[in-house]
Structures are given as structure tokens and as C-alpha cells.
Amino acid sequence: ESTLYLRETGYMPFYMRMGNALREIEDQYDIVVIDCPPQIGFLTLTALNTTTGIITTIQPSMYDVASMAQFLALMGNLVNAISEQGVEPPLDFMRYLITRYDNTDNNQQDITRFLRHQFGREVLKSEVLDSTLVTRAASEQRTIYEIEPRDQNRGTFKRAWSAFNAVQDELENMVQAAWKRGPIRGDL
């Protein structure tokens, strides 16, 4: 559709260019992850018109929930404006991932329950736990899997790895469902 738009008008809007470029090389990849900042800008608008799935991260605090609500309202307005131009985002799914979750914090538990009540199955079942391991990995620009276990408490490692593995498994299942094909690992 974007190639047709280009032929008819001689112009392709910026928000259609990434999707068009990716379609030209789609046989060379399985998944493309576009990590956008939590703001509406050229990259986010372009990604919205390219993506087949959105994972929105949310920290379980009232400030972050309010911020997410504003972002989603603004994003919805932009998608509607683009839809009025005849461009429909190819979205298969949108989910919310709770991050920096401290399961011992009553306020975070309450907010997490609220989010699950409001968005139901759109909220991933697994959460990314708040952990000193996550903080350390971020400061060293590594993944949690690259930090040596001897440097931290083994229990901290096991909890973090378990939480990240659960999120990864859930995301992989969503991708497989969107693809309507077998496991990713079977493709390797």
C-alpha cells in the first residue's frame, strides 16, 4: 500500500518509510525490535505505522500510570489522524509489561492489581522484578545474564533470571501466535 501511495503521489510520508524499507528486506529477518522513548516523535510515529506488536512497559506507581494514560491518549489521537489519511497500522497485538516490580511493596501490589483489572489479559502475566542485579546490569550496560553469579547473592540471581525467563517465554508465545507458526527455537 505504501508503494502504491508513492507511485500515485510521488511522495511517501516519513511515517511510512520505515515500514516500506522493512518490507523490502523482510526475508532477511524474523523480528525487528524498535525501542522508542516514551514520547510522541518521529521515531514513535514511524514505529506505530510499522509494527505488528506493541509492548508498553509500565512501572507500578501512580505517577507512571498517569503518564502512561496521557501517552496512550496522545498516541490514539495520532493513530486516528493517520487513519484518516488512509493508513492503517498493521497491529496484531498491544500488551503492557509491568517493570521494576517490588512484590513486597503494598502500593505496587495495589497498582498492579488495578492495572490487571483495567486492562485484563492485555497485561502480561509475568513482571520484571526490581532487583539490584537489574540495576547493576544497566549500569554496566550488560544483560542480567552477563553478570557473574559469584558477584551477587545466588537468590537474587535466581529470582531475576526466573522473572526475565518468564517474560521472555510469554513474549515468545505472543510472537508465535501472531505468526501462526511453530516455535522460534525450532527455526534455528
Give one DSSP letter per residue of 16-63, joined into a string: HHHHHHHHHTGGG-S-------SS-SHHHHHHHTT-SEEEEEE-SSHH
Least confidently predicted of 40-54, 56-70, 133-147 = 40-54
Q: What is the pLDDT of residue 84?
A: 81
Measured distance CA(162)–CA(159) in Å, rounded: 5
C-alpha cell at 47: 514505529
Contact 61, 110 (CB under 8 A): no
Spatial contact of 122 and 138, defined as CB atoms under 8 Å apart:
no
Three-state SS at 183? coil
Q: Is the pLDDT of residue 150 over 70?
A: no
The grid cell for 15 is: 511515517
Mean pLDDT of all residues in 135-164: 82
pLDDT-derived band of residue 109, with 50, 70 and 90 as boundaries? very high
Whether the pLDDT of residue 182 is over 70: the answer is no
Q: Mean pLDDT across the chain, nearest whole number?
A: 82
Q: What is the mean pLDDT of residues 1-16?
A: 63
Examine the pLDDT at 108 and tell me if it is beyond 80: yes
CB neighbours of residue 48 within 10 Å: 21
**Over 70: is that where the pLDDT of 151 sits?**
no
Which residue did the predictor score with more confidence, 20 or 169?
A: 169
Give the whole-number percent of the chain exceeding pLDDT 90: 27
In this prediction, residue 168 carries a pLDDT of 92
Residue predicted with more confidence, 186 or 138: 138
Report pLDDT for 184. 52
Least confident window among 48-57, 71-80, 81-90, 113-122: 81-90
Residue 187 has pLDDT above 80, yes or no: no
Please determine, for residue 9, whether its predicted confidence score (pLDDT) is greater than 80.
no
